[in-house]
Amino acid sequence: MRASTLMRPGRKTGRWFRQSISLLLALALMTCSVIIPGGGWAQAEDELSGKTEQPILLVSGDDIIPSGIYTAANVKNEKSYTLDELQGMTDLVESNYYSTINNSGTKRIHLGDGITVEGLLEQSGFSLSTDSEISMMGDDEGVSFNGSKPLLGRYYYPHIGTGSESDSVVVDAILAWANSREDQSGGSPVLPQDTNDIEEEDLLTLMVGQQNINDVNNSLYWTGVRNLIVGDVLTNTLITIAGEEFTRGEILMMERADRSYTYTKSGDITATEYVRGIPLAVLLDGYDNDYVVNFTTADNWDVEASGMTVGDLISGNYMLAYEKGDSESGPKDGIYDTKKDDASVYGYFRLYGDAVSPAKMITSITVNSPEYVDYTDSSYKHINNGGLSGDAPYNIDAITGATLTVEGPGVESTTPIRIYDLEATANANIYRGLYTDVREGNPAEFSYEGVKVLSIIDGLVNSNVEIVDEDVQIIFKNRWRQNVGYISYEQLVDAETPVILAYGTGTADGATVAPFVYDNDLGSVAGLDNEDGCVKLVYNKNEFPFLSLHDQFVSVAYIYVEQGGEPPGYKHSEASDDAYKNVANTEQLLTFTGTALGREVNYTVAELEAMVEYGPDDLPVAGGLGYRDEYGLSNTTYWYVNEYEGVKLWDFLTQKMGLNAGTYANDNNTLVSFAAWDNYQTTAQFSMAQLADPDRFYFYEKSPLDIGTTRPTKAQLATPEYQPDNTVGEWDTDSNGYPVKKGYPVMLAYGVNGYPYVRDSSLPGYAGGLGNDGGPMRVIFGKTDGMNRSNPEDPTNYAYFYNNGSNQLQRAQEIYVGDDKRYSTHMENPEYTAMADSTALTVEVVQGGTTTTKTYTLAQLESLLYGAGISKGDMEKEGRQEKAYYAHKVFNEALLEDLFEGVNLWYLLSEDVGMQGVLGNVSLYSGSSETSALDLTLTDLQSEGFNSLRNTDGLGMMVAFAKNGYPLVLDKNAAGYVSTDTVTGKTIENSDGPLMFVSAQTEAQKDAGTPGAAVTNLTKIVINLEADIYAHTGDYAAYGENEVAFSGAVKDGAVTLSVSDLEKLQKYMVTGSYTVGGVSQTYRGIDLKRLLFSSSVGASALLDQVTVSNGDSGSKTVTVADMNGAAKPIILAYGIGKTGADPIGKPLVPDESSPGYDGEYLNSGGPLRLIIDGSAEDDCIENVTAIAVTAATLTGWTHSAGAFAAYKNKTLSVSGSNSARSLHMTVEQIEALSSTYKIFDQYKMGNFLYFEGVDLLKLLRDHVGFSNDLQSSNI
């Protein structure tokens, strides 16, 4: 048997060794074996015994092997060395003195014996320079050198003790095997006289000189150096040994031997070759002698040694060679072989043995027990067509393209696995054995072959499968999502006979075998019962008598992995796991509005869930608002079934919202539509008549002949051949005669498969394998007809083709019944439009004795949220809107809350009003009062607060125009005042307006249970602004009227902004030290790039360059690359200060004769000046008056210009055990592929969108290739 390991066999191993060479090398040094210590060379001939050596140093890196691509010319440059080799390179060995200072200030002189780094690199064809990037790596870390910390140009200072630089000499860096040192305390140098051998674990030690007499360099003395890396570490793996992938550098650092091999070539020519490599006695140490070894080459050549045992290979002195020379003692170069007629096929390793021709281009070595069965060509497999010629009846898309889906809250993500990929998995994941099933009520023994379920769960078949812990439970489901079996992970691990998903069966003697097929399909074999395919759950019934609910082995289409214990339940508010009670979920608002309702009504998720009552069976009460059922959803080719629970929308609208069921039950004109809180609006719209009749919504089973992207026609689906014939339960037919289940109401779902939805994947409670993000509520519905009302000829008007999975609405927030109308606003609610155009708010900005006034009508204020061209994305990204419950007053000693909606006050003042500064005080006035009702600082306005009644936070200050869904009015006696919604019973009490300032509780108010600040009947806001001392205000205000004209590729073709307008864009401000013409000073200005792409200028995304100019013929062209690559943002400066943090800056004026010029500040060149750090004076254009924006012309949809050019060097990397070679291509290189690779088409991503790209399969086949004759692979 194989020697034991610390990891249970079959579990997915870690891939630490691919990330860093150094850790593996350290282990190699400790174990002297690549696989497992122990075992020895019991059958080895004496010709190798005792002649192995352990390398101690690897010289490698992508500056030695450029771009990590080995060639015949450069492969020799990656080298490993033993200690004896290094010490024998006498021309490169030096004994040097070194001076050091450590972090404690201790000064020492060292004596070191070792080999020069520079000389060692020259052996690898690399010339060291001061800019070279060099790393000396130990076990898992090391020390690096580069242009700012060079390895060259370092000194030994004999008088380091006194601080004198006299007698200093340049000294080479060495990797030392012996050293000594003496502390220096002043006076004459105390020199070490002899060196001592360095302990083995510290070999080799880097010793370097100082850059100057004060250089603290002791930390560079790195011990245990095993890797001398020039550039980056080479990580491309070139060979697989016993299932593990290795880089060439890792192979070079294994225990090795030198040996000559003599063999006979064609024509009876005797050849002798002198090679270096790893004896298989080392490589296969730990395996019993009867284990069988096989070899694979890059050109798939049959290797004579394949099939030999470990013992035979050892006694035959077999070696995996990586270097070859012309003589026993002469130099040896790296092996690089190519296929005779195809240089694109190459390899780096040869297999040598006594008296046999060497096998070239070895890429894989597998080791298996004597009992090992090679399942590659098994007749049980569909992909081998059951051993028959051709493809039919088993190797057909309907079977091999079908999927087994691994999902559920117990795995990190949902993973569909094709039957093709399931059967093409590694042999170690497959099992064949005799199992007892039932035939005609009696036990019957058959042979079954399939994939071990444990291998699937452990991610060995598809690495995307990853369980959350080992306490999971595995539930097997058939294609109808019915549970057919159950087992714990622990039971899978401990099973004496593997539980498998069998893809084929045979007689007990193996005389007759066949893959599974669907019922009544071609390929059914009498007596085998190989129908009900295409994979079946097979297990030892004596070991697991209760695993399945069925007497016979049954088919499986889903593996649902459940977390340990019971699911938490569907409702957030009642979940057994408190993670789901997060207020981010329970307090999410759903808004119901639209012309059919005539008002706005808001409910939280918790309120909606409370409307659903459960019966004694823990199911929603029949006839109530709640509903739970399995819905079938589809996204074109992928169909899936889940159990959902939620609120039936029709019942909610008619029972809770006051819509008359009789009036709307046959209404095909009033439509219900939906929007999400992230601004997505699904195209799915339902008529009220559709909502009223759940029987218009269907559950479908996918046609067994609906495979891939070539869909059957509606006419074909009407024929029995295309219809499922094993439907279970009560089925009806649709208008086309296709089997369906009916009665799947549209619902607002809050949970799936026993788990609540969460708002997004970052929240606690998210289960990747379940996909329960996109909540806390979704709109879920069955398939239905007629969903494209604008195009009656659209095939998706037939329910079967309608993708209700793609068109479900995640993150539901707004439901519009009838036309979309904002009933919470004065400007759209018909009952309040008379108030809309009345002046409601005056904002005064007082700065430097000057008052600027801006007034707002109610409509103007509300238009900041709901005006033309304003999206939810704008509101979210720019922080415009506030809508939440605020605890704002006390009544009868009770803290009260209401739902307010309005404009965030900081956004209103900083973005829409605009302020030339961010410091100052704000006074808020109520009604006609001349005395402020509340005073705050501008800093206060940017804070967020709490609502202690709901435990919510993140609530900003707002100017509210609506309360509890209704526009605000002055008081209870005003027209439009509503006390209570008579239908819902919700309190409205929309007085204290028409505008109101509302603030959330501070932390102190939350703890004390007191309300946040509020100002009713808000009419005026006065800002006493502390001027931005760099801005053009006060005596400099006239300069603020100067204008900058933006032209070219900007919004509307031209934009003009005044200097004072620009100075109000505080969020784009940059203040810092800039060097212009060699002089450093503090500047304040606007980030040019952010300004250009802001809504104020609206430059094209294809922006290529801008030309900044003034009226005096001065100009400077700045490219997007300049802006992206600048260490400091390029700015339009409007103010200047002295070097360093100067609190008393000055605005820029045109020249030294201009009013306001201060010679102490040198504040000429304004009022706006282009500032580029490190540029000459002439490049920093003064008195900027015009900026011309030029957009690039794209070559197709490529990243060739403009802002997109920044992405063209992003890299796509492809690697893996099934790849013939690794691939690293930039976006630019991918886009440069020939047109035969290009695809331009529509894809369904919620809505249909156009995409351009390359055919992924062609890219993989042509530029990567699949190893071992594979035609496809998981990716």
- For residue range 795-851, what is the model confidence (pLDDT) as tens digits? 999 999 999 998 899 999 999 999 999 999 999 999 999 999 999 999 999 987 789
Position 481 confidence tier, pLDDT thresholds 50, 70, 90: confident
Tokens at 244, concatenated: 């593990």
Give kind and range of the element (H or E) at residue 1062.
Answer: helix 1059-1063
Handedness of CA 1230, 1236, 1237, 1243 (dihedral sign): positive
303-320, pLDDT tens digit by residue?
Answer: 999 999 999 999 999 999
Nearest to 353 by CA among 281, 402, 285: 281
Taking the C-alpha atoms of residue 448 and residue 1168, their distance in angstroms, rounded to an integer, is 81
Residues 6+ away with beta carbon under 8 Å from 1261 = none
Q: How far is CA 470 from CA 14, 404, 753, in A?
A: 17, 21, 21
What is the percent of the chain where pLDDT is above 70?
92
Position 1218 confidence tier, pLDDT thresholds 50, 70, 90: low
Residue 19 pLDDT = 32
Side chain identity at 1026, as an amino acid letter? E
**Residue range 884-909: mean pLDDT, rounded:** 96
Residue 37 pLDDT = 31
Taking the C-alpha atoms of residue 715 and residue 729, their distance in angstroms, rounded to an integer, is 25
Tokens at 1034, concatenated: 């006060």
Nearest to 171 by CA among 249, 75, 98: 98
User: Do 1189 and 1051 form a contact (C-beta atoms < 8 A)?
Assistant: no
901-938, pLDDT tens digit by residue?
Answer: 999 999 999 989 988 888 889 999 999 999 999 999 99
Taking the C-alpha atoms of residue 542 and residue 539, their distance in angstroms, rounded to an integer, is 9
| Average pLDDT of the chain to the nearest whole number | 90
| DSSP H helices in 561-702 | 583-586, 605-610, 649-655, 661-664, 688-692
User: Do 314 and 44 form a contact (C-beta atoms < 8 A)?
Assistant: yes
Residue 869 pLDDT = 80
| Residue 236 C-beta-side C-alpha neighbours within 13 Å | 20
Nearest to 61 by CA among 254, 225, 227: 227
What is the percent of the chain where pLDDT is above 90?
75
User: Do 638 and 632 form a contact (C-beta atoms < 8 A)?
Assistant: no
> DSSP string spanning 844-913?
EEEETTEEEEEEEEHHHHHHHHHSTT--HHHHHHHT-EEEEEEEEEEETTEEEEEEEEEEEHHHIIIIII
550-583, pLDDT tens digit by residue?
Answer: 999 999 999 999 998 889 999 999 999 999 999 9
Position 43 confidence tier, pLDDT thresholds 50, 70, 90: very low
Q: Which residue has tokens 């691990």?
A: 493
Q: What residue ranges in 335-482 does DSSP mark as E strands?
A: 337-339, 342-347, 350-353, 356-359, 362-368, 403-407, 415-418, 430-439, 442-452, 473-477
| Strand-pair category, 698-699 with 732-733 | unpaired
Tokens at 519, concatenated: 């019922």
Tokens at 730, concatenated: 């009560």
652-693, pLDDT tens digit by residue?
Answer: 999 999 999 999 999 999 999 999 876 666 789 999 999 999
Q: What letters, b where the CB count within 10 A reaches 16 and e where it falls short, cover 68-82? A: bebeeebbbbbbbbe
262: β partners: 272
CA-derived radius of gyration, the chain: 38
Nearest to 179 by CA among 193, 165, 189, 190: 193
1067-1125, pLDDT tens digit by residue?
Answer: 899 999 999 998 889 999 999 999 999 888 988 878 889 999 998 878 999 999 899 88
Q: How many CB atoms lie within 10 A of CB 1221?
A: 18
User: Do 958 and 902 form a contact (C-beta atoms < 8 A)?
Assistant: yes
310-351, pLDDT tens digit by residue?
Answer: 999 999 999 999 999 999 888 999 999 999 999 999 999 999
Nearest to 1057 by CA among 1009, 1014, 1095, 1028: 1095
Position 21 confidence tier, pLDDT thresholds 50, 70, 90: very low
**Res. 26: pLDDT tops 50:** no
Does this model's pTM top 0.85?
A: no
**Res. 41: pLDDT tops 80:** no
| Residue 1062 C-beta-side C-alpha neighbours within 13 Å | 36
User: Do 281 and 41 form a contact (C-beta atoms < 8 A)?
Assistant: yes
Tokens at 564, concatenated: 């340990």
| Strand-pair category, 415-418 with 430-439 | unpaired
240-298, pLDDT tens digit by residue?
Answer: 999 899 999 999 999 999 999 999 988 889 999 999 999 999 999 989 999 999 999 99
Give kind and range of the element (H or E) at residue 400.
Answer: helix 397-400
Q: How many CB atoms lie within 10 A of CB 177?
A: 22
Position 456 confidence tier, pLDDT thresholds 50, 70, 90: very high
Residue 564 pLDDT = 87
Taking the C-alpha atoms of residue 1098 and residue 1123, their distance in angstroms, rounded to an integer, is 17
| Residue 555 C-beta-side C-alpha neighbours within 13 Å | 25
> Could you give all domains of the chain from N- to C-terminal order, each with its CATH number?
16-62+234-368 (no CATH), 79-230 (no CATH), 382-562 (3.90.420.10), 578-817 (3.90.420), 833-1026 (3.90.420), 1034-1191 (3.90.420.10), 1209-1269 (no CATH)
Nearest to 572 by CA among 601, 603, 602, 610: 610
Position 969 confidence tier, pLDDT thresholds 50, 70, 90: very high
**Residue range 1053-1063: mean pLDDT, rounded:** 94
Between the ranges 606-615, 705-714, 1153-1162, where is the mean pLDDT highest?
A: 606-615
Taking the C-alpha atoms of residue 829 and residue 858, their distance in angstroms, rounded to an integer, is 12
Burial label, 36 (beta-carbon count in 10 A; 0-12, 13-18, 19+): middle
Coil vs helix vs strand at 982: coil
φ and ψ of 672, to 5 deg: -110, 125
Nearest to 515 by CA among 427, 418, 394, 426: 394
Side chain identity at 1142, as an amino acid letter? D
User: Do 984 and 964 form a contact (C-beta atoms < 8 A)?
Assistant: no
Taking the C-alpha atoms of residue 1271 and residue 384, their distance in angstroms, rounded to an integer, is 13
Residues 6+ away with beta carbon under 8 Å from 884 = 587, 589, 899, 900, 947, 952, 955
Considering only 469-483, 1160-1174, 1203-1217, which range has the smallest mean pLDDT? 1203-1217
User: Do 1162 and 1146 form a contact (C-beta atoms < 8 A)?
Assistant: no
**Res. 1192: pLDDT tops 50:** yes
Residues 6+ away with beta carbon under 8 Å from 400 = 382, 383, 418, 419, 420, 423
Taking the C-alpha atoms of residue 1040 and residue 1033, their distance in angstroms, rounded to an integer, is 7
